[in-house]
Amino acid sequence: MHFPVTMGISEDDKLFLIRLGARIRAVREEIGLKQVELANLLDIERGSMTRIEKGSMNLTSLMLRKICRALKIELEDLFKDMR
């Protein structure tokens, strides 16, 4: 499950979500998965996957865990180099 980013979110948090989405996309591309393939593994629509990768979705911890499992990485690896 994930929630749309709301107006009340700080600019710093928005930038974090954008960097997180870019990191998810980068790892997906590194392992040769198409966006639709990752969406299917996560049992979400491709449009939701697009929003995640653009940083316009505030993900739950459970969705982050599903993403990491689908990408075959550890959670800490997802946040690697995201300072």
- What pLDDT digit, counting tens, does each position of 47-62 carry? 999 999 999 999 999 9
Q: List the domain boundaries for the chain.
A: 10-78
DSSP helix/strand/coil, 63? helix
Instruction: For residues 16 and 82, give the distance between their C-alpha atoms in angstroms, rounded to a whole number.
Output: 8
| CA angle at 4 for the pair 47 and 25, rounded to the nearest 5° | 50
* Mean pLDDT, residues 57-74 taken together: 96
pLDDT range class, residue 83, cuts 50, 70, 90? low
- What kind of fold does domain 10-78 have according to CATH? 434 Repressor (Amino-terminal Domain) (1.10.260)
What is the DSSP secondary-structure string of 29-45? HHTT--HHHHHHHHT--
1 compared with 33, residue with greater pLDDT = 33
Instruction: Name the band, by pLDDT with cuts 50, 70 and 90, for residue 9.
Output: confident
Tokens of 71: 């990408």
Mean pLDDT, all residues of the chain? 91
Distance CA 68, CA 66 (A): 5
Higher pLDDT among residues 51 and 6, named by residue: 51
